[in-house]
Structure 1
Amino acid sequence: MTEGTLEIDGISKRYGAKVALDGVTFDVRAGELFGFVGSNGAGKTTTMRIALGVLAADGGEVRFGGEKITHEARTHIGYMPEERGLYPKMKVLEQLIYLAELHGLSANEAHRNAENWISRLGLADRRKDEVQKLSLGNQQRVQLAAALVHDPAVLVLDEPFSGLDPLAVDVMSGVLREKAATGVPVVFSSHQLDLVERLCDRVGIIRTGRMVAVGTVGELTSSARSKLVVTAPAARPGWAAGLPGVRVLEENGTTTVLDLDPGADDQAVLAAALATGPVTEFSRRRRSLTELFRDAVSDGAGSKEGEPR
């Protein structure tokens, strides 16, 4: 397969009366890291399983490079499920060779690729161990190797950073950046929003089966309401209470963090602060992706635990 864009176009899925996905639409471009985030039960895993052909959609279409994805095309997708998809009693090297051969690689290619990813992911000392004897973090590394061993044209990863220590997170982040740099579209879900913010080119937020935001972190956070940070050493607690269109988010010593309604006069806030004495800080602070995510999912905050994801 050549380089291309992975398109999720109007995907819908129901389980009886339960709407799991309602017209989910986004794309993951060639060479892009796309973060797919949402609360438990929002629809992330269901979307990924439909892209892989594990589930059938009730409506919509999945395309790659402008063409509807076929069974043949799906053999060129690297998939990492959130739940372990490995044979627990099979040895690491044997398992990766077997999975590579299932994707059509020759025995020599499969062995070479398996050894390469075992080395790259720091598993050389564990290559002859059964998967069930590995730590959870090392099992996660093997799972990633299984998604990469056939040199996929697309990567779809469900919670790839779950359970990893900081060193392993750095290793996996480097691998994903490297794959994207070769033109591979990479989409992954994660609850580690600080990592998504740092790593991803674009982000999609899903809530109760509907996409509520898609864009770069800069685009999403710049359109959100910013905070106003005021440091007034002589001010008494509560000095900003009652100002029109102003809500006090926190007071930490001499620093007050405020949320202003659209159209609220920040100069009136400055005047009120100056009335207490000197002001040593008066600045806007852009919201983080974590704060934006909380805002996006707070309205009907998703499904209950145990409902389809």
Structure 2
Amino acid sequence: MELLILGGTRFLGRAVAEDALGRGHQVTCLARGSAPPPEGVAFVRADRDEDDGLAPAAGRTWDGVVDLTLHPVHARRAVRDLTTGHWLFVSTANVYADGTGPEPSEDAPLVDAHDADRMEGMETYGGAKVTCEQTYLASSTPAAVVRPGLIGGPGDASGRSGYWPWRFAHPVGEEVAVPDDPDLPCALVDVRDLAAWIVMATEQRLQGPSNVTGPTTPLSHVLATAAQVAGTGARARPIPPPVLAELGVRPWMGPTSMPLWLDDATMRGFGTLDSSRARAAGLRTRPLADTLRDALAYEETRTTPRAAGLTDDEERRVLEAPPTLGGWSSSPPP
């Protein structure tokens, strides 16, 4: 198979390229070159922000094209300029409307499409991906849309999958501050498992949308698994959400945050997905411990700052917060 990846030099795109190479396919990556391409691919340097940015890949027929773009104009130009036997567009769980609850199916309500050329910020992220989905699904060529949940494992620059095993491996004392929300439903898909499924879906020329993530599991299990792979014996210290809010600790991601946790009731279970359609088509996901262990190995060698979690000073400030902060009147657990 001659596969064109629009991107292919970072995280998921890179994993797709490496998996396809491992299966014996010929892989071409078209990207700006902000990161080095994987060894063994044909690399085409191009800027998709230019109207003719896809010209180096036009004029031939590809067996499959994989696109990871955020911007509707990129999808429109791909459909206009490229010839392929199959499209695969990597979308996101953010296309689902708020309040759908845990594990929405592919038929759940979507956010409104964002029909501008570009995604301007995270507030239009889901809508921009919806527009890209519509563009590919409306083309005359068979198209698959993949809606992943949270993607983790080695190479996760966001730090969302790597922070908890790293923090348990590097506690500031005998305890690790965690959100007191043990039953929060969580899900995570290893980047390598997602990449393998994308290549397989392209080989099989699957059509339509498919959710792709790992099994739903409570936050308490994620944290216990992170502690297990860290192997330091540090104990989790649950901190009530009102205390975290008063201390300025954010949910989900970003600086001064507790990754994976969400304190918005309308978002409870976000990222958990009914992935039965993908599993019936061959999706296989590795144990959570394997993903967190490899995410920890990446954290130990990463050369860029982590974009999620607490610094050591922030961790101490949370652990040392007085019991009455945020209206919390009970004593912290021993």
Richer in strand (by share): 1
**TM-score when normalising by structure 2:** 0.28
**TM-score when normalising by structure 1:** 0.29
Higher relative contact order (CA 8 A, sep 6+): 1
